[in-house]
Amino acid sequence: MSRIGRKPIPVPTGVDIKVAGDVVSIKGPMGKLDWKLTEGMSVGVNDGQVVVTRSGDARQLRAMHGLVRAELSNMIQGVTKGYEKAMEISGVGYKAQLQGREMSINVGYIHPVTYTVPQGIDVKVDKQTLISIRGVDKRLVGQVAANIRSIKPPDVYKQKGIRYAGEVLRKKAGKTGK
């Protein structure tokens, strides 16, 4: 049996969990998230704990057991505390500006790159080089951060570009003359 899948998830106060058919709805102080269960999975809420069970022992069900439990745990944490990713822009003249839901990023191209921030995500730009991405959905926060980083990934020679805060890059040595 899955070691992760059989662990019960404690439900903090202020979080409401409803199971309607194959959809689990989690509502908390920061928002509401839904998760559609795969066939063969069931969720039960007892005594302030969420328990995920599977109907059989097939390979696909065993694989999904731990995944469903981890996703529900991430959703509970998301609606209580939320998730945040911090990013840094480094390079001469590199900067970001936020206008409503549009973010304009200047990173060395001949034109500024515009990125539309999806619903459910809050973005803050501090000092034009620090970007803070917040939201309740862990997957969405990570995907938005990855999309922003992919606009100009950090260069291995000059260390310029968009990187996660605290990301350690190994600097490669350039060509040397004789």
What is the three-state SS of the chain?
CCCCCCCCEECCCCCEEEEECCEEEEEECCEEEEEECCCCEEEEEECCEEEEEECCCCHHHHHHHHHHHHHHHHHHHHHHCCEEEEEEEECCCCEEEEECCEEEEECCCCCCEEEECCCCEEEEEECCCEEEEEECCHHHHHHHHHHHHHHCCCCCCCCCEEEECCCCCCCCCCCCCC
| The amino acid at 44 | G
Q: What is the mean pLDDT of the chain?
A: 88
pLDDT at 56: 87
Q: At 37, which amino acid appears?
A: L
pTM, two decimals, is 0.83
Q: What is the predicted pLDDT for the residue at 60?
A: 86
Angle between helices 138-151 and 59-80 (to 10 degrees): 90
CB 105 within 8 A of CB 93: no
pLDDT grade, residue 40 (50/70/90)?
confident
Per-residue model confidence as pLDDT tens digits over 80-133: 999 999 999 988 888 999 988 999 989 888 999 999 999 989 999 999 889 999
**Does the pLDDT of residue 39 top 90, yes or no?**
no
Q: What is the pLDDT of residue 129?
A: 86
- 81 CB neighbour count, 10 Å cutoff: 13
Residue 26 confidence (pLDDT): 92
Percent of the chain at pLDDT exceeding 90: 32
- Residue 178's pLDDT band (cuts 50, 70, 90): low
pLDDT for res 5: 79
**What is the share, in percent, of the chain residues with pLDDT greater than 70?**
98
For residues 69 and 77, the answer to whether their CB atoms sit within 8 Å is no
Q: Which of the pair, 3 or 127, is modelled with greater confidence?
A: 127
Of 146, 142, 1, nearest in space to 69 by CA: 1
**pLDDT class for 63, splitting at 50, 70, 90?**
confident
Q: Which residues of 131-143 are buried (b: 16+ CB within 10 A; e: fewer)?
A: bebbbbbbebbee
